[in-house]
Structure 1
Amino acid sequence: MILTDELVEAVFVKESKNRFLCEVLIDNALEECYVSSSSRLQNYIKLKNKKVWLTRNRKKGRTKYALFAVQYYNKYILLNLNKVNDFLVEYLSLTNMQNNFELYKEKFIDNYKADIILQDEKNSLRNIIIEAKGIIGVNNEMLFPKVHSDRAIEQLKKIKNLLIEGKNVEYFFVSLSPIVKTVTLNKGHKQYSDLFLDCVGKGLIVRGISVQLNESGKIFYNKIRVLL
């Protein structure tokens, strides 16, 4: 993947009370900016006074820009969690994992909304249900989950039922930071970790990849370790 959007340089000021907004400085002028994250970025990464890159919003709305990336240790960390599924779709294509399958995004199966489904039109037993979790961080090893999430726990309960029914489910950790090399299950969040390990025992396949953006705007992917 090569990014075609023009990137606008800015300085990060602060996250707003509205969790989907932040303030940045563009040429010393304060500008409101969209943040594509359902939880606050300050839970994962320090951005105050950091140089960041924005993309221009194509649709008319409250903001002209969306937060896209920040530079840490001469590497680019992507901040747009809405792109996680798109990155994973491209990775599946590059690694030929979707060969002989029809790929569907955000499709319901048994009351569970899958991020991606790889569907074999001739043999439903081969279908693969994929859940993707985006990770943002600046350390080589990241604990997951970092914060409590009722939604993630409810998803695992539904995934457990799918596994009991004999369905194939894979859980991808997608790091938007090339700095991250290992994702470790956070046993401090006991309800999530116990459910997760129960799912693994019932056949859940766990994988990890990181997304790397170079200066020319090209995206690369690398496998990362997942420790349970």
Structure 2
Amino acid sequence: MKISSKIIEGKFLYESKNRFICKVLINNEEIECYVPSASRLENYLILKNKKVLLTLNKGKKRRTKYSLFAVEYYGKYIMLNLNIVNNLVEEYIIEKIDEHSCENLYKEKFVNGYKADFLLEGKEKVVVEAKGIISARRDVVFPSVFSQRAIDQLRALLELLKSGYKVYYFYISLSPIVKSITINSFDEKYSKLLKKCMKKEMKIKAFSSCYSNNEVKLYKEIEINA
């Protein structure tokens, strides 16, 4: 996917108490920026004083002029905008999944009370769920923090599998550094539900992604230790 917005460089200072706001130094001026993540980034990365990339916000009524986009780690960029995840998965679906299963593609569609990231309707009904991962580690444990939402989603996906839906479950690392994902065995509810879904033939895949020359793309398929 191409990044149409102009990219600005800055230095990350700190996250504000408001989880969607951070402060960044741009041309020696402290600027308030939007953080496009529902979780605090400090849960996943050390950002203070690191080089970051920002995108210019569109619209005159936005509180901030810029949004946080990526941070430099080990000479590579880890993306911080989780909205990218579904765009990458959509591109993968269109390119890779059987075209007969993808005659109609719907985004954020409710299916039996469950809000799917994608619903594909054709000769089969296919539900797609995507999980974004922000990390600078080579080997990542997921989920790294407890998520009731992820557990509830797996419960709903298990019911859809039982009723005849085909399900794809994607882990997308917003970093080219990640080489493998291990399912957190200490989160028993999540790991047990995932295994139940896999026994019902839910397909799981994991990819790293990278940013270069104003383009974000899936980088490599990576190992899942479930």
Correspondence for 1:184? 182
Pair 1:200 & 2:198 matched:
yes
Number of positions where the alignment pairs a residue of Structure 1 with one of Structure 2:
222
Pair 1:114 & 2:108 matched:
no
Contact 1:7–1:56 (8 Å) recurs in 2: yes
Letter in 1 for 2:118: I
DSSP 3-state at the match of 1:70 = strand
Displacement of 1:54 in angstroms is: 0.5
TM-score, with length taken from structure 1: 0.93
RMSD after superposition: 1.2
Pair 1:152 & 2:150 matched:
yes
Distance, in Å, in 1 between the alignment partners of 2:92 and 2:62 is: 31
Letter in 2 for 1:177: S
> What does residue range 57-206 of structure 1 map to in structure 2 within 5 Å?
57-59=57-59, 60-95=61-96, 97=97, 99-100=99-100, 101=102, 102-120=104-122, 123=123, 126-206=124-204
Distance, in Å, in 2 between the alignment partners of 1:2 and 1:158 is: 33
DSSP 3-state at the match of 2:99 = coil
TM-score, with length taken from structure 2: 0.94
Distance, in Å, in 2 between the alignment partners of 1:87 and 1:17 is: 30
Letter in 1 for 2:36: S
Cα deviations by residue, 1:71-93 (Å, 9 ceiling, x for unpaired): 11111111000121011111223
> What does residue range 15-26 of structure 1 map to in structure 2 within 5 Å?
15-26=15-26
DSSP 3-state at the match of 1:187 = coil
Correspondence for 1:51? 51
Letter in 1 for 2:73: Y
Pair 1:9 & 2:6 matched:
no
Q: Which moved more, 1:197-206 or 1:35-44?
A: 197-206
State the identity %: 46
Contact 1:163–1:202 (8 Å) recurs in 2: yes
Correspondence for 2:217? 220
Displacement of 1:98 in angstroms is: 5.4
Letter in 1 for 2:53: W
Distance, in Å, in 1 between the alignment partners of 2:165 and 2:99 is: 19
Distance, in Å, in 1 between the alignment partners of 2:53 and 2:108 is: 28
Displacement of 1:218 in angstroms is: 2.5
Contact 1:98–1:118 (8 Å) recurs in 2: no
- Residue ranges of structure 1 left out of the alignment (5+ in a row): none
Contact 1:21–1:33 (8 Å) recurs in 2: yes
Cα deviations by residue, 1:159-187 (Å, 9 ceiling, x for unpaired): 11111112111110011001111111011
Distance, in Å, in 1 between the alignment partners of 2:13 and 2:105 is: 40
Letter in 2 for 1:179: I
Pair 1:211 & 2:209 matched:
yes
